[in-house]
Every structure is written in C-alpha cells, then in structure tokens.
Amino acid sequence: MAEKGGVIAEPGRVTGHVSEGVAETLRHPFVVVKNAVLGVVLGVIPGVGINITNFTVYLLEKRSSKDPDSFGTGNPLGVIAPETANSACVSAELVPAFALGIPGGATSGIFLAAMNIYGLRPGYTFFSEAGPVAWALIAGLFFSQFIFFLMGVFGAGWFAKVTLVPPAVLVPVIMALSFIGGMVRPKFVRGRDYRAFVWHRRLRAAKRKFSRCLLGPGYDPGAADGG
C-alpha cells in the first residue's frame, strides 16, 4: 500500500458510535469466551505471537461460521473473534516470559528487553528475587486494562481516522518514531533506572506497612523480605 498509494479506508467520514460496537460484542458471548481461551492457549506457546493468533482465529471463526462468505464484507465476527484472541494473547505471552525467560511473541520480547534494562532477571526465581517490583508489575498490567478500556471508549472515533491518513504521511511518521525510540540516549535510561529504584523502595515500604496491619505487630518484615 505504501508503494501503490491510497488509504486503508475509503475517503469519507467516520460514522457510528462506540456503544454500537459494545452492544454487538455482547450479543456474541460464546464467540468472546471461546476466542479468549484460544488466545490464551496460543499466547503461552513461545514464538506464536499476535499475528499468527489473529490469522488463526480469523480462519477458524470463518470456517465454523454458517455464512463464511460474509467474512471480509462487514461481518462483525471477523473483528470480534481476532480482537478478543489478540487481547488475551498479549497477556498470555508474559507467562513463558516471566516463568522461563522465553518471549511468547514480539510484545513480550520487548518486555523482556525492558526488564533487562532495569536489572530484572526473568525465570522461575523472578517472583522471589524481584520482590514487590514483580507484584507492582502485575498490578500495573491489571489496571492498564481499565486505562485501555477508557481509551477505547473515548478515543475510538479519533483512532479510526488514522485509516484515512495517506501512506505518504503515515509511513514516514511511523519510521521516524521508530528510529527515535531505538536511539534513546543512555542518560535518559539511567534516569528511568533511578526512578524505578525510588518506586521500588516506596512499594517495599508500603508492603511492610500493609503486612503489619494484616499480620499484627509481631510481623518481622526483615525476615519476610530476606533482610
């Protein structure tokens, strides 16, 4: 498309409302649950990733549909099925990444690289060695789902307009942002390391206070934390 020109969608206005998409999704609960489970199963397999999951789920949903010819012409199941599996796959990719240090896909591979920058070693000892940072990471992933939901509800209309941007504009912008992200200065990374250390200390102190409240004044945080 970048060579031939044109846009992803036909020129015009972006119509519809987010509530219509939510209502359409709720009308197919079996499709959502089925493909969420399939996305988790494919996500925990190292090397599969989002792209293979999307294509696999789309083809399976099309094959099992009573009207397969409608796929590619506006059938909402062609969006609901792969997007459900996609969302489940992203989280499931972190299972082999945390437990074995093997990325489940490109997303978890970037995640592992970021962990190495901050001195976190993945593997079976990750949760015991990382301490509260590991649980803070899990909590961050949990609360990020609510942020993504709000971004989808309030920003879907604006995000859809990206499909109307000509590739002559879209491709250079993406390449420039990718180049800038790959050339981050080490000084900036060291600043992030310091902030991560500060937040680690704060979370550890909060964990000790919370544990004292639950376990009573006899709780020894030094023995529990290993020092």
Select the more confidently predicted residue: 212 or 66.
66
Query: How do the domains of the chain map onto residue ranges?
Result: 18-162, 165-227
Q: What is the pTM of this model?
A: 0.62
- The answer to whether residues 131 and 204 touch, using CB atoms and an 8 Å cutoff, is yes
- Summarize the confidence of residues 166-177 as an average pLDDT: 83
Report the run of H or E that residue 200 belongs to, with start and end: helix 186-215
- The answer to whether residues 44 and 104 touch, using CB atoms and an 8 Å cutoff, is yes
With 90 as the cut, is the pLDDT of residue 106 above it? no
Q: What is the pLDDT of residue 104?
A: 77
Interatomic CA distance for residues 30 and 28, integer angstroms:
6
With 60 as the cut, is the pLDDT of residue 9 above it? no
Interatomic CA distance for residues 124 and 129, integer angstroms:
10
With 50 as the cut, is the pLDDT of residue 188 above it? no
With 90 as the cut, is the pLDDT of residue 37 above it? yes
CA–CA–CA angle 110, 129, 143 (5° rounding): 55
Location of structure tokens 């599969």: 48
With 70 as the cut, is the pLDDT of residue 41 above it? yes
DSSP state of 9: S
Q: Give 16-29 pLDDT, tens digit per residue.
A: 677 787 888 888 88
- Summarize the confidence of residues 172-184 as an average pLDDT: 77
Mean pLDDT highest for which of 50-59, 115-124, 135-144?
A: 50-59
A 10 A CB-CB count for 93 gives 30
Q: Give 52-92 pLDDT, tens digit per residue.
A: 888 889 998 888 888 888 888 888 888 888 989 988 888 88
Q: What is the pLDDT of residue 224?
A: 43
- Summarize the confidence of residues 203-219 as an average pLDDT: 54
Mean pLDDT highest for which of 56-60, 109-113, 131-135, 213-217?
A: 56-60
